[in-house]
Every structure is written in C-alpha cells, then in structure tokens.
Amino acid sequence: MKRTKPKLLYVFLSVSVLLLLVLLLLKLNTNHSSQVSISKEATNRPEQIKIMIDTTHLSYIKAVSAQFEKRYGVKVDIISMDFNLLYHQIEKSLNQSNTDLDLILVDTVWTPEFARAGYLEPLRNYVQSNLRDRIIPIAYDQRIISNDLYALPELYAFPLSIEEKFLYYNEKLLKSAGIYAPPSTWEELSEMTQYMREKGLINHGLIWGWTPGEGLVCDYTLLSNALGVQSKDVNGHWIFDQGKGVKALSFMAHSLESGLSDPLSLRLSDREAVKKFAEGKTPFMIGWAYADKMLNQPADYKMSLVPGFKGYQKSSTVTGGGALSITRTSRHKDWAWKFIDLMNSSRDQVSPKDYIGSIPVWNDQISDFENSDKYLNRNLMTEQFEYAINRPNMSSYVEWSSIMQSSIESALNGKLTAKKALDQAKHKVLQQGIK
C-alpha cells in the first residue's frame, strides 16, 4: 500500500483549514449584515404613522392597519371624515409647517392638483416597472402625471378602489305595483314613477345625494354622458353650456319640479341618500357601489344598470374611487410605502371589495371576482364599466368643480334656468383661465 507523502498531507490540511476559516468568516459576515439590517430597521421604526381618509374607506383601512401593526409593531393613527370635507382638510393639514401626515386618500380627480402643488411623493422608487400591466387601466391612468424630467408619466397615488354609480331599486315596492323588471331607460323610469304615484304607492320615484358638493358634478357628468356629450370637445374647449349639456341639467331640475326626484335630495349627501332609500318608501336611487354594502343586500333591494335615454347609448355611469399617496412632507416615507405594499400583498385576504363594495383594481382579482359566486352583482358591475366616463382630468379640477356645483345648485333650486346657470359657470371658468 502506497503511503501519502508528509509534505502533500501538510498542504492538504492547510488548504482545508483555510477553506473552513473562509466559510466561517462568510457566515459571521452574513449574520452581522443581517443583524445590522434588522437593527437599522428597528432604529428607524416609528411609533406610528398617520393616515387621513374618508369614511367610505375607513373599515378597509382599519383592517389593513391591524395587519400592519401586528407585522411591524407600528401603530396607525387614522383620521377619517365625510368625503366632502376631506379635500380641504388635507390641504389645510399639508400647508402646516408641523404636519405629520404620512399617507392621504386621494380621489380620482385630485391627483393632478395635489401632485403639482408638491403635496405628493412620486412613487418611482417604490413601484415595479410592470405595475401598469397588472392594474385596470382606468384605475392606473387617473393617478399618473406627465413630468418633463422623466420620459414616462409618473405614478403619484396607488389605487385601492375603483367606483362607479348604479341604479338601485326596491323590488318589493315595484312588485306591489305589478312591475317585475327595473327600467332600462329614463323614460321608462319616469313612466313607472308616474304610475306608482297615481296608485298612491309613493310620493317620489328617485332619491339622490344632491347636497352642495362633488355629488352634483358626478350626477351631471353621468347624465351628460348618457346624452353623448362631455364637458370638453376634442379640441379641449368647454362645451357643457351647449345643447345636450343644458338638456342634462334641465332633466335634473325638471325631475325635482315634476316629483320624479325627491326634493329632499337637495339636503342629502350620497351616504345619507342610501339611508333614506333604505327606509323602503322610494323605488329608485342612483348610488355608488358601496351602497350595496350599506343596504346589506336584503331581498328587497337590487342593483341594475343606470338607465340610458331613448335613442342614445344603453347606459351611462361616472367613475370614482380612492388611492393612497405618500405625502412629500412625510418623515416616514419608507414605512408609508410598507403600508401600501402590505395592502397590495394581502389583497386576497383583505380585499377592498369585501369592505367597500367597489370593484378590485388588480387584473388578477378581476378574473377571480367575475368567476366567484360570492358576489351576486359581479357581471352587472363589470358590464356597467363599459358605459363609464371620467370627470375632467386637470390640475385645476377642484376650482372648476366648485364653479359647476354652484351653478348646478342654482338651477336645481329654481334660481336660474339650466341654460343661464351653465352660461354663468362657463363665464367664470374662462375668466379664471381654467383649462
């Protein structure tokens, strides 16, 4: 048997020891890096982050916050309020030198103004490059702003819900009048209302949320679109004061005069209108998807496509929904993003659909939504989006909307004709240089 030479054995042992030392050092270094990373996160971890939202999204954000606190040990301070108060409260808070807001809920039409005012942190350092392909286009595209410094438009708010309006009807009330299907046109709805009033079953056919606020503009946009007109023409000129735009507002005003719409609508917000409708004395309501959750889906209340006008498209609705934005002034931007990231990664367990009632914004959830027996109105909700329109997308939207709200309110209260009200609105819009 051949013996190993002592010199060769010595070299072999030396190399082995050296390799063991290298592996030990690598392991120690890895553990040290991991400890440094954990230590750094623990050092930078805030006691809490602060979020400002509207009451519609409150239950959902509470659910995500509970997960966030459990995972990271960071409390979430939630400030919520009625939607009509949210814009001005966000603006007031972010203009304070000592603001501590980290995340805010941004409505679909606020993104351009808030971004250009410097309120929002662009999300380029956080979002993945293929995100746009994974989210419903109508939800994503409302949150992006063109920026001269970058080749592509930037995302400034991460969509968490997308809304649209529907027709809700009281099936029990309709059946009591011998009506077994919801109206497919506004003309049919008017005829049904008149018939039920003549039988003494109802006082009014429709309830709306027409208190002074954004709801007025949403419903005017919905009805204008039903007549085939938008607020601007293809060249970007305002045309809401012409022909069909005037006809849409005239319809709103006449519906109050004729008894089709309940005059109480002028004092109700969207959510208050749902509560009034739930009393069971009015056959129809135009409301957002969250109304379905508020009504708790009893057998009496059903959802249908918003009617169209005869001779025009089958239906019409207007979009809405919320997104979360990281504030530019946040001292905890990375943790604010962790909240958004957790919201996204846990979307199958904590879905906005289950808490708000709105349609999911992720493509992978849409297919699950459409094929799930859990959601009774899933096919109707996706079909309604075929007839959806966005409100104008511009940085001065809130100023424009404020002018429109005032003029629409004047027409609904009978102070001005629809034509004069919209002429007045256009004069103010042009005077202020709103484009």
Q: Which residue has the higher pLDDT, 390 or 315?
A: 315
Residue-wise pLDDT tens digits, 144-161 = 876 554 446 789 999 998
Look at 43-47, 341-345, 388-392 and tell me which has the smallest mean pLDDT: 43-47
Which residues are within 8 A (CB) of 242 and not within 5 positions of it... i.e. 6 or more apart? 229
**Is it the case that residue 363 has pLDDT exceeding 90?**
no
CA–CA gap between residue 100 and residue 155 (Å, rounded): 22
**Is it the case that residue 43 has pLDDT exceeding 70?**
no
CA–CA gap between residue 48 and residue 336 (Å, rounded): 10
CA–CA gap between residue 280 and residue 169 (Å, rounded): 10
Tell me the mean pLDDT in the region 201-214.
96
Q: b/e map of 52-75 (b: 16 or more CB within 10 Å)?
A: bbbebbbebbebbbebbeeebebe
CA–CA gap between residue 386 and residue 44 (Å, rounded): 46
Look at 182-186, 223-227, 323-327, 391-395 and tell me which has the smallest mean pLDDT: 391-395
Residue 388: which region, alpha, beta or left (left: phi > 0; alpha: psi -120 to 50)? beta
Q: What is the mean pLDDT of the chain?
A: 88
Which residues are within 8 A (CB) of 430 and not within 5 positions of it... i.e. 6 or more apart? 238
> If pLDDT is split at 50, 70 and 90, which confidence band does 279 have?
very high
Look at 28-32, 230-234, 309-313, 351-355 and tell me which has the smallest mean pLDDT: 28-32
pLDDT at 243: 94
For the chain, give the percent of residues with pLDDT over 90: 67
End-to-end CA distance of the chain: 97
CA–CA gap between residue 184 and residue 205 (Å, rounded): 15
pLDDT at 25: 52
Amino acid at 164: E
